[in-house]
Amino acid sequence: MRAQGDAPGGLERAAPGLASGSRGFPQPLIVGCRRPESPSDLPGCTTPPKHAPEPPMSEIEIFKEFRIEAAHRLPNVPPGHKCSRLHGHSFRVVVHVAGPIDSITGWVCDFAQISRAFAPVIDQLDHHYLNEVAGLENPTSEVLAQWIWARLRPALPGMTRITVHETCTSGCEFRGPRTDGGS
Ligand SMILES: [Zn+2]
């Protein structure tokens, strides 16, 4: 949308995000624009000069956070360690997914898609004793992050990492291989 009172010839008065080239004015270089073919999709992006090479397609990473209340004990810690005793955590699990921004929807993927993928994980873990879950006999946050990754991977090929917050100040982050061709 053109700014009110925008006078022809005044590039500095063009509204942010407008493609100045459509009005025949000099076009500034692009800094950090991911979608030059649809400049109006992103604030601050303008049409690149025609002689400039196409910038490489970039990705953006989104995340969705979930909470799991669960009990556990760690069987392999040194004798007397407090974590050997039965206790519980309010785990916060953050799922990260990367990909290009869809030119129509303007998003990487629907957050609801991540929630749907995560629903079976909640069913298996929330308000459960983790040590009794297959694969979580030694349920450290590190093991838990990899366990969750393995179960989400088929539904979320763009997944880049799983973060598990065991407490407000402690947690871990697991980065596994992507299956969507991204790096
Ligand atoms: Zn614990």
36 in the same domain as 6 = yes
With respect to residue 43, please indicate whether it lies within any of the assigned structural domains. yes
Q: Both 91 and 139 in a single domain? A: yes
Ligand 1 centroid to residue 23 C-alpha, Å = 62
Does any domain span residue 155?
A: yes
Domain boundary among 29, 57, 85: 57
Q: Are 77 and 86 in contact (CB under 8 A)?
A: no
For residue 35, the SS3 value is: coil
Do 86 and 166 lie in one domain? The reply is yes
What domain range includes position 70? 60-174
Span 17-51, pLDDT tens digits: 333 333 333 443 333 333 333 434 434 334 445 55
Q: Could you read off the pLDDT of 86-134 as tens digits, one per residue?
A: 999 999 999 999 999 999 999 999 999 999 999 999 999 999 999 999 9
Distance 26 CA to ligand 1 centre (A): 61
pLDDT band with cut points at 50, 70 and 90 for residue 179 = confident
Q: What is the pLDDT of residue 93?
A: 98
DSSP 135-153: T-SS--HHHHHHHHHHHHT
As given in the structure block, the two tokens for residue 159 are: 């997944």
The count of other CB atoms within 10 Å of the CB of residue 91 is 24
If one counts every other C-beta atom within 10 angstroms of the C-beta of residue 156, the result is 23
Active site residues: 83, 127, 166
